[in-house]
Structure 1
Amino acid sequence: MDLKDTSISLSRVQTLDVTADIQGTEEPTVSDDPRSWRLGSKWLILLVASWLCLVSPLASSILAPATGLMNAEFHNDSETLTTFTVSFFILGYVVGSLIAAPLSEQYGRKVILDITTTIFAIWQLACALAPNITSLLIFRLFAGLGGSACLSIGGGIVSDLFDSNERGTATAVFALGPLLGPVIGPIIGGFLSQKAGWRWIFWFLLILGSLTVLLQVFLGRETNLRVIRARKHAFQGRPLSWWHRLDWYGPVEPLGSDGPKEIDLMQSMLRPWKFIFTSPITGILCLYSGFIYGLLYLLLTTITRVFVQQYHWSIGISGLSYLGIGIGFILGVVAIGSTSDRIVMKHAKGNNDIVVPEVRLRVCFYFSFLIPISFVWYGWSSHQQAFWLAPITGLVAFGLGMIGVFLPIQTYMIDAFPEYAASSTAALASSRNVVGTFLPLAGPFLYEALGLGWGNTLLSFVALVLIPAPYFIAKYGEKLRLKYPIKI
């Protein structure tokens, strides 16, 4: 199949389910289509997914302020291992996203989320009992594998529930979870580790993860239309138990013109890789968003040390400095969420009611300038030990710029490849998590060699060089999608 549609119609043609329903009737219905569900139901499902995506990234960064206490217990003096205890969790995202997303397109969103969220919670217990730093690294990796699914499947859920003219707002609301999670984590981790010790961080995550499993199991619903129709077809005329009504299990063979057809699992598993390596559009956007995401985790792993050393704050109080990024995130979500769909609709009115996905990327060009500016601002103000509000204001600018880049790119991937939205966003998520795992390792050495001022200036220069990436896709992306279609 070639994904080479150049535009998306504003009016979605509803697919009538002419197969027999569960009671055996033959009435055509659109009630199976999640986009036709009640608005309240759709937003509840989206908020549950967003909550999952808050808890998992929260776990990725919550250990950052407590690494000093952990090092003291494990007698560790390696900067690399210290940074890895935080970023190794993100390495689990890389592998997990590439597996979970295509599986959700074949077996359903809910069953994959139920299983992976349970895995995420279980491995928090192992982390709490870790006997040494090596085992903690391994346990964090497996926890990251379990926590990865929600980040890649979330794009698929947005695509399942909302039409293209609604996705800007929906993506902005969904993004609150994965973006605020890494910011809230260090704040909780700083105070909790200072009062109760670093191991209580993982006992807290075990409790929170277990409650999240219950939330996902009982409030989450299947939103993949192909899976819903396949299950309905298979169970026609048969009563459903509570087990099936919870969407835990059911036949998943997709319906073809001649009935159910066989699933090519290997083909599904390779799908995200095709997005990364066969599409110039995806490759460029993955490179750019990956670097910005790496900058975020470099900050998350170094901010505590900066404010402890430069401003002599306690571990708990230094965690509050992460609020700067969080405030920027919220401002960015409000700005993009309130304008993205309007920009698309305005363009569509002059384009025969046809939405061109690349229109969403135009705003990225302006927000992208905030990223290099913010690093110069944050770096030199902290280096000169200026009033503490100065570097935190620089972090606010970074958060705003990051959201202005991330949300349009993620929504664009969903709009450009709606049928395989989970795989396309998995490609985006896994590639950026590779950078998010390893770029933070350079932080301590960079600051030691160049200082906070010149070290952050170097990073700002790289960010400045990459600014043309979203502008290039916004201008030439439609032609590239035609010329280099992704063969699924």
Structure 2
Amino acid sequence: MFSVEAGEVEAPYSIYSNKEKWTIVGMVALAGFYSPLPANIYFPAIPTLAKAFHQSTEAMNQTVTIYLIFQGLSPMAWGPISDRHGRRLVYLVCLAILILSSIGMAVCPTDQFWLLLFLRCFQSGGSASTIALGAGVIGDISTSSERGGYFGMFNLGPMLAPCLGPSLGGVLSQELGWRSIFWCLVIMVAVCLLSIALFLPETLRSIAGNGSIPVPKRLRAIVRIVGRKVSHEAFDPATQTQAKHSVNPFVILTYPDVIVLLTFTGIVYAVNYTITATISSSFAKIYPDLSETVLGLCYLPTGAGMMIGSTMTGKMLDWEYNRIKRSKGEEFTIEYARLRIMPFYLGLFIVCVMGWGWSLQARAHIAVPLGLGTILGWTSIGILNTTMTLNIDILQSRSSGATACTNLVRCSLAASMISVIDRMTNAMGDGWTYTFWGGICALLLPLMFLEIRMGPKWRVKREAAETARD
């Protein structure tokens, strides 16, 4: 907020009501759903695709790996562009690329495997940036005291896709053939593109301020369903922040507090993604009577856990922030407020990762890994919501760039882990493989205490340097 003279009414941080903010967050959560969905929707159909394209399953897994690589790289370009030139146009361009590439994959000849890989690059390049864009929108419209709840809602989109996508893909592949998967993507993304074009306002604060400043016609929502009732007091050009001179997001990777957060988030995400990505292949070996449709349905418990975890974590983050700010006073730090509950989430996540491995090795009843998957979904999204909310808090004016860096790290680590997980389980067994990765996650806990202790000092020093430079 900016300072005001006596008698003046202070303009709100955002003109949008709570209901309107939830509407905006719902739209960007829907778009975020399509970032990981194309990578996951055909997991149950990989054996069918391998046969159709006359490739081995290992070769077909390259389509997953290459998707993850570009999922990490493309937001490094789109995210900073949106931080400078606005959210709406980048959303429309990215979703259009996703639609066109999905059409290409739907009609791809089965003797052109190289073309399938090539189109996967564009498919990932178009879809991946919706997470970074959504994080930018949330940073634009919300304050730190309410951001946890909004980010919890938003993260439901990108985190549910790996769980709901295979269920949908399994049904489509078995009933209508593998090409129907991509046609379904085309239809779904077209609906999302239309809703963004019609209803999403431009939120970038360097352009729209708190939402009250008129924006160029090309950046306006076609149908204005939010921000229609704006009081005269809400209008204030002082809420229009200065755009950053540099759009290079790689500089963010040199900040020590951000490096700590990215390392922690990246490893936990990669371990969880590896478990999610291998559910169908692992269950197919252990429970050979399961059909493609049933294999897809096995992802639903993890999705249910994510829905519960996202709702609980968002509310808890906001409650903790406000409670600690009242109790700590001048000693309050955003790092402590966000990370205080992290040891609980991480400890439970580690236990479930190890339990997952040993339940597979023991060929336990299918209810055991499904139950563990529910808790894994809850804890993983709790960890991700917490660290990504803090990332936006400490880099609010570059929230899309900050989230793009998170995507780069976590997707790169996930791609690397997926490329070796089969060899590890073949050599060590599922039990010791996931015990190893659970142990790696346990080594991350000191990083959170380091962030709580040193993060505020690093942040204040960086902000002082940036202020002096401006």
Q: TM-score, length-normalised on structure 2?
A: 0.88
The residue identity in structure 2 corresponding to 1:130 is C
Look up the match of 2:258.
282
**SS state of the match for residue 37, structure 1?**
coil
**SS state of the match for residue 91, structure 2?**
helix
Aligned in 2, Cα 1:260/1:43: closer, same or farther, shift over 3 Å?
A: closer
Aligned in 2, Cα 1:166/1:221: closer, same or farther, shift over 3 Å?
A: same
Look up the match of 1:253.
none
Does the CA contact (< 8 Å) of 1:179 and 1:329 recur in 2? yes
Name structure 1 gaps, 5 residues minimum. 1-11, 17-27, 249-255
Distance 2:98 2:380 in 1: 27
Q: Does residue 69 of structure 1 match 2:45?
A: no
Deviation of the 1:430 alpha carbon? 1.8
**Alignment match of 1:201 (pick from 181, 200, 222):** 181
Does the CA contact (< 8 Å) of 1:363 and 1:404 recur in 2? no
Distance 1:77 1:101 in 2: 36
**SS state of the match for residue 340, structure 2?**
helix
Look up the match of 2:442.
464
RMSD over aligned Cα atoms = 2.9
Distance 2:244 2:222 in 1: 19
Does the CA contact (< 8 Å) of 1:66 and 1:189 recur in 2? yes
Aligned in 2, Cα 1:479/1:229: closer, same or farther, shift over 3 Å?
A: closer
Deviation of the 1:406 alpha carbon? 0.8
Deviation of the 1:183 alpha carbon? 0.9
Distance 1:160 1:85 in 2: 34
Q: Does residue 351 of structure 1 match 2:328?
A: yes
**Alignment match of 1:326 (pick from 303, 322, 326):** 303
Look up the match of 2:394.
416
Look up the match of 2:19.
40
Cα deviation, 1:326-383, whole Å, max 9, x if unaligned, reads: 1221221132122111111111112337862202012112101122211221111121
**Alignment match of 2:2 (pick from 13, 19, 25):** 13
**SS state of the match for residue 56, structure 1?**
coil
Q: Does residue 58 of structure 1 match 2:37?
A: yes
Look up the match of 2:168.
188
Aligned in 2, Cα 1:353/1:222: closer, same or farther, shift over 3 Å?
A: farther
Cα deviation, 1:285-308, whole Å, max 9, x if unaligned, reads: 111211122123312331101111
Aligned in 2, Cα 1:169/1:244: closer, same or farther, shift over 3 Å?
A: closer
State the identity as a percent.
Answer: 24
**Alignment match of 1:385 (pick from 335, 338, 363):** 363
The residue identity in structure 2 corresponding to 1:396 is T
The residue identity in structure 1 corresponding to 2:85 is Y
**Alignment match of 1:293 (pick from 259, 263, 269):** 269
Distance 2:9 2:67 in 1: 44
Cα deviation, 1:70-109, whole Å, max 9, x if unaligned, reads: 1101111251x22221232222222221111111111111
Look up the match of 2:314.
337
Q: For 1:18-167, what aligned pairs fall within 5 Å after superposition? A: 35-77=14-56, 79=58, 81-131=59-109, 132-167=112-147
Does the CA contact (< 8 Å) of 2:206 and 2:243 recur in 1? no
Does the CA contact (< 8 Å) of 2:199 and 2:222 recur in 1? no
Distance 1:230 1:310 in 2: 54
In the comparison of the two structures, how many residue pairs are matched? Answer: 447
Aligned in 2, Cα 1:201/1:34: closer, same or farther, shift over 3 Å?
A: farther
Q: For 1:164-183, what aligned pairs fall within 5 Å after superposition? A: 164-183=144-163
The residue identity in structure 2 corresponding to 1:37 is Y
**Alignment match of 1:246 (pick from 221, 229, 250):** 221
Distance 2:415 2:457 in 1: 33
Does the CA contact (< 8 Å) of 2:208 and 2:214 recur in 1? no
**Alignment match of 1:441 (pick from 405, 419, 441):** 419
Distance 1:396 1:475 in 2: 32
Look up the match of 1:3.
none
Q: TM-score, length-normalised on structure 1?
A: 0.85
